Amino acid sequence: MADSDNSIYLINNNGKTKVDNVEGFNIKFSGVHNVVEIYCSDEELRKFQNCNIRFRDNGLTVIKPTCYSVSNMDIDIESDSKFILGKNTFSYGFTVACKRNTSCIIGDGSFIGTASKFRTSDAHKLYDKNGVWLNPPADIVIGNHVWIGQECLILKKTVVPDNCVIGARSLLNKEYKTKNALLVGSPAVIKKRNISWEP
Helix (H, G, I), strand (E, B) or coil at 197: coil
Question: Is the previous residue joined to 187 through a cis bond, with omega within 30 degrees of 0?
Answer: yes
Average pLDDT over every residue of 16-28: 94
Asked whether residue 33 carries a pLDDT value surpassing 70, the answer given is yes
> Domains in the chain and their CATH numbers?
6-144+154-160 (2.160.10.10)
Segment holding 75, helix H or strand E? strand 73-77
Amino acid identity of residue 186, one-letter, is S
Confidence grade of residue 196 (pLDDT, cut at 50, 70, 90): very high
- The pLDDT value given to residue 155: 98
In angstroms, the CA 103 to CA 80 distance is 9
**pLDDT at 140 (0 to 100):** 98
CA distances from 81 to 22, 58, 70, 102, 174 (A): 21, 7, 22, 5, 20
Q: How far is CA 67 from the centre of its chain?
A: 18
pLDDT tens per residue across span 125-170: 999 999 999 999 999 999 999 999 999 999 999 999 999 999 999 9
At residue 2, the pLDDT reads 62
Q: According to the model, what pLDDT value does residue 1 have?
A: 63
Q: Are the beta carbons of 45 and 22 closer than 8 angstroms? A: yes
The per-residue pLDDT for range 73-84, each reduced to its tens digit, is 999 999 999 999
Q: Are the CB atoms for 33 and 56 separated by under 8 Å? A: no
CA count, 13 A, side-chain hemisphere, 73? 25
* Per-residue pLDDT, 120: 98
